[in-house]
Amino acid sequence: MTERISLTRYLVEQQRVHGRIPPQLRLLVEVVARACKRISFAVNKGDLGDVMGTAGTENVQGEVQKKLDIIANEVLIEANEWGGHLAAMASEEMDGIYVVPNRFPQGEYLLMFDPLDGSSNIDVNVSIGTIFSVLHKHHDDPTTDEPVTEADFLQPGHQQVAAGYCIYGPQTTLVLTVGDGVAMFTLDREQGSFVLTRENIRIPEDTKEFAINMSNMRHWDAPVRRYIDECLQGKEGPRGKDFNMRWIASMVADVHRILMRGGIFMYPWDKREPNKPGKLRLMYEANPMGWLVEQAGGAATNGRQRILDIQPAQLHERVSVILGSKNEVDRVTSYHSGI
Ligand code: AHM
Ligand code: MG
């Protein structure tokens, strides 16, 4: 029988053998995975549980919250606040940061998450997921015991110490990086544990598949139009090959496909909201996905700059996102500089 490696064993080995992650970080990832398991069961119940439909509230970005957005947010907070590994959390569904209450010990890490990504797909039984990113509380001065503030979260993505997502699809799959490549774990529902199913995931450098919401085409900037236009011309155009399009409208599912077989994903800036840099959020969507993609040999930019080098100015900052197969991302990025 092939040996089954659980998430716990994988993390213990990362800690013990590779010396890559300290015990608190290992605990943190395990707790996030446990919370994802609970969210997976709630998602799975669908209409049989009281989890579908809208909650009648809006989040800080003015988006209508679904019941599952709120449930997933609560599950992640409850699971993580008492373990002593975290100082504070931030989420797409909360206005400000959530500092671990005084009744619990404070840890060294900061956790950011989009508790339920792809909310528009919840009610139609299409894959959704949880995205998370972990930073060190005081990156520049780990020894200080200054109380944690929102400013501590404003670190560029290259300072992440762990990032990943859990996709609730036909299978529930956790995809993780702690800076040593990308590993994938599939939830074994009978055993109740995540089992390592792929290691060292690599994204092919070339692709014939793009993912973008084409209905926004008329609002895009010239470089993005040019790239998609050339793809659409297929064999007869300058690219000399036919392209295929996929758009799931859940970033987790689109990025998962890219990690499995390559492709390019774009949610670019558009003219409808000229003052917003994009739709997706830097801290808990673009940064964790950008790091995963880079760790798998792909690239992630906003058209002009590497996503992981962007210095955030706000917690809920938005960003234009272009990520996936390296050669395609480099091409779109070069179009932005007029090449
Ligand atoms: P959400 O976090 O509120 O679900 O929004 C983010 C989602 C992404 O998962 C996805 O790529 C995008 O929004 C889809 O947007 P659109 O509905 O414009 O296609
Ligand atoms: Mg999202």
* pLDDT tens-digit series, residues 176-226: 999 999 999 999 999 999 999 999 999 999 999 999 999 999 999 999 999
Instruction: Report, as an integer, the average pLDDT of 9-14.
Output: 92
> Do 175 and 299 belong to one domain?
no
Is 1 part of any domain? no
For the stretch 228-271, pLDDT in tens is: 999 999 999 999 999 999 999 999 999 999 999 999 999 999 88
Quick one: which of 239, 227, 285 has its CA closest to 90? 285
> Do 269 and 223 belong to one domain?
yes
Instruction: Report, as an integer, the average pLDDT of 136-140.
Output: 80
Q: Which of 60, 133, 168, 280 to mutate to test the pocket of ligand 1 (most atoms within 8 A of CB)?
A: 280
Is 203 part of any domain? no
pTM to 2 decimal places: 0.95
> Do 181 and 307 belong to one domain?
no
Please give the distance, rounded to the nearest whole angstrom, from the Cα atom of residue 117 to the centre of ligand 1.
Answer: 7
Ligand 1 pocket, residues with Cβ under 6 angstroms: 63, 92, 114, 117-120, 213, 249-251, 267
> Do 146 and 268 belong to one domain?
no
Question: Is residue 80 over pLDDT 70?
Answer: yes
**CATH number, residue 31:** 3.30.540.10
Quick one: which of 123, 67, 120, 115 has its CA closest to 93? 115
Find the domain containing 117 and state its range. Answer: 7-198
Is 143 part of any domain? yes
Number of domains in the chain: 2
Of residues 165 and 122, more confidence is placed in 165
Strands 86-91 and 109-117: parallel
Question: Is residue 1 over pLDDT 60?
Answer: no
Tell which atom from ligand 1 comes closest to the C-alpha of 213: 19
> Do 194 and 331 belong to one domain?
no
> Do 161 and 213 belong to one domain?
no
> Do 125 and 266 belong to one domain?
no
Domain boundary among 198, 219, 241: 198
> Do 158 and 224 belong to one domain?
no
Is 30 part of any domain? yes
Please provide the average confidence, as pLDDT, over all residues in the chain: 93
Instruction: Report, as an integer, the average pLDDT of 68-79.
Output: 92
Query: Torsions phi, psi of 269, nearest 5?
Result: -55, 145
213 annotated binding-site participant: yes
> Do 169 and 86 belong to one domain?
yes
Q: Whose CA is nearest to atom 12 of ligand 1?
A: 249
For the stretch 279-332, pLDDT in tens is: 999 999 999 999 999 999 999 999 999 999 999 999 999 999 999 999 999 999
ipTM of the complex: 0.96
Is 304 part of any domain? yes
Q: Which of 39, 113, 117 to mutate to test the pocket of ligand 1 (most atoms within 8 A of CB)?
A: 117
Please give the distance, rounded to the nearest whole angstrom, from the Cα atom of residue 280 to the centre of ligand 2.
Answer: 7
Q: What is the pLDDT of residue 142?
A: 65
Q: What is the pLDDT of residue 245?
A: 97
Question: Is residue 127 over pLDDT 60?
Answer: yes
> Do 184 and 244 belong to one domain?
no
